[in-house]
Amino acid sequence: MEDKQFELRKSKLEELRAMGIDPYANGFTPENNAGELISLYVSKSPEELEEMEQSFSLAGRIVSKRDFGKSAFFHLSERTGRIQGFVQKNSVSEETFTLFRKFLDVGDFAGIRGELFKTRTGELTVRVLELFFLTKALRPLPEKWHGLQDVETRYRQRYLDLIANERTREIFKTRSKVINLIRRFLDERDFLEVETPVLHPIAGGATAKPFVTHHNALDMDLYLRIAPELYLKRLVVGGLERVYELGRTFRNEGVSTKHNPEFTMIEFYQAYATYEDLMNLIEDLVCCVVENTAGEMQVEYEDKKIDFKRPWKRINIYDALREKFGSEITEDDQFLFTKADSMGITHNGIRGKALTEIFEALFEDSLLNPAFVYGFPLDVSPLARKNDNDPEVVDRFELYICGREIANAFSELNDPIDQKKRFADQAEMKKKGEDEYHEMDNDYVSALEYGMPPTAGAGIGIDRLVMLLTNSSSIREVIFFPHLRP
């Protein structure tokens, strides 16, 4: 049997139609909003409000009702906040009063017109003079005090989560704000926002497994992008010296509290800059975002306190490892691989992989406050420029906050011959079973052959940044519709 509350609300809807009232009426345009009325009039005295004789109109969802028989209170919720309304038998027509009492349920949308007054308890309230039925909700809202708790329902029916839980609304407001701040920050510095393909013939720009899709007319497989990097750098070749793209990226990997198959990343590229310039830029950018969302330079995350105070620590991977194990770790392959094996690290004989994995295993968790980790080995950085002093490492860094990688950046490799060789080396590894390694991208190499100015670029994981700023322990809390099994 169909649910009773649903059937009842449906029959109310039919009755409304029979009475000539459209339960999904259009055309009511509110002239005011709750936030505005509260900020303008909350401090007025009851007498001042009484004298005003001004009428206001609002529209929103009815989120609570307290019925006294001949009068009733309710709360109306909309974009700017919520405000209390009061319906009195004497102040409205018979029809309106019945409409409110018998037909308007919690969850429905209504428009109201009325005047402001203060209740005995001092709450600013709209005395309803006219009521407009806007939308019938056929299903009841989640419970009023506990809200919606069930995690699965919160993710699958995010609209209910947003209706019921203030915190969820705040998280997503912060998310929007973060994105907006980043755009403004880069726009002010003369970066150009661009859009590059999501469908790639070759999945490049990162070390990750791609989603595969198929173009029917061309009868060819295409990959959802794992990074926009190689296209953005083609634009730098084209003379767009400062570009950024903020958008969705897809990686066909495991799902966890820190991984969603589609996630939001910003990448930006600046010609005539080095990775060190980008450390400073990212410090500026993240601090700007933190200051304008948290309001201070410290952020509570889980049981920790993250301090964004500058300057941020800069840690060299090789130095850190030598300090821990002595110089053998970087000079003696035997020592390195034995160490890696003893720590249960899979490296497949790739030096750089062993080094970075050992570093991560040992130091990642200790990097609470923002820290730039640099000195990455060349063989795990096929798109980064070689360091001028040490050809085994590249001019690359990662930003860690709270033990998590938030950003990755480097001076770009703009030597086409070196790039071609790096791709070839990667393709060689790929053959050996490292299937997430790059394949040869001749089209990109030929772009470099036309000359890319010295450039540095960075990618920042927006979801992870928002997690830190909203004290969210799972990436699913900061993505409206996270990936779940259907």
Partner RNA sequence: GAGCCGUUAGCUCAGCUGGUAGAGCAACUGCCUUUUAAGCAGUGGGUCACAGGUUCGAAUCCUGUACGGCUCACCA
Structure token digits, residue 351: 């030096």
Residue 369 C-beta: closest distance to RNA, Å = 20
Tell me if 297 sits within 8 A of 309, measured CB to CB.
yes
Residue 56 C-beta: closest distance to RNA, Å = 17
Residue 121 in the binding site for RNA (CB under 7 A): yes
Residue 309's Cβ-side half-sphere holds a number of Cα atoms within 13 Å equal to: 3
Interface residue with RNA, options 29, 120, 188, 303 (CB under 7 A) = 120
Residues in the chain: 486
Stretch that binds RNA, among 33-41, 204-212, 216-224, 315-323 (CB under 7 A): 204-212
The dihedral of CA 228, 274, 326, 379: what is its sign?
positive
Interface residue with RNA, options 36, 78, 241, 253 (CB under 7 A) = 253
Residue 396 in the binding site for RNA (CB under 7 A): yes
Tell me if 266 sits within 8 A of 462, measured CB to CB.
yes
How far, rounded to the nearest angstrom, does the alpha carbon of residue 125 sit from its chain's CA centroid?
A: 36
Pick out residues in 432-471 that bind RNA (CB under 7 A): 436, 459, 461
Residue 153 in the binding site for RNA (CB under 7 A): yes
Residue 256 in the binding site for RNA (CB under 7 A): yes
Amino acid in the structure at residue 338:
T
Residue 70 in the binding site for RNA (CB under 7 A): yes
Interface residue with RNA, options 398, 412, 441, 463 (CB under 7 A) = 398
Interface residue with RNA, options 5, 280, 327, 366 (CB under 7 A) = 5
What's the rounded Cα separation, in Å, for the pair 4 and 6?
5
Residue 207 in the binding site for RNA (CB under 7 A): yes
Residue 367 in the binding site for RNA (CB under 7 A): no
Residue 193 in the binding site for RNA (CB under 7 A): no
Interface residue with RNA, options 15, 31, 51, 67 (CB under 7 A) = 67
DSSP-derived letter for residue 102 is I
Amino acid in the structure at residue 358:
I
Residue 146 in the binding site for RNA (CB under 7 A): yes
DSSP-derived letter for residue 77 is E
Residue 19 in the binding site for RNA (CB under 7 A): no
Residue 366 in the binding site for RNA (CB under 7 A): no
Per-residue b or e along 241-255, where b marks 16 or more CB atoms closer than 10 Å to that residue's CB = bbbbbbbebbbeeee
Consecutive H or E run containing 55: none
Tokens 């519709």 -> residue: 481
Q: How many CB atoms lie within 10 A of CB 55?
A: 15
Site residues (vs RNA, CB under 7 A): 1, 3-5, 8, 64-71, 73, 75, 84, 86, 88-90, 105-106, 117, 119-123, 125, 139-140, 142-153, 155, 206-208, 251, 253-254, 256-259, 346, 381, 396, 398, 405, 408, 436, 459, 461, 473-474, 476, 482, 484-485
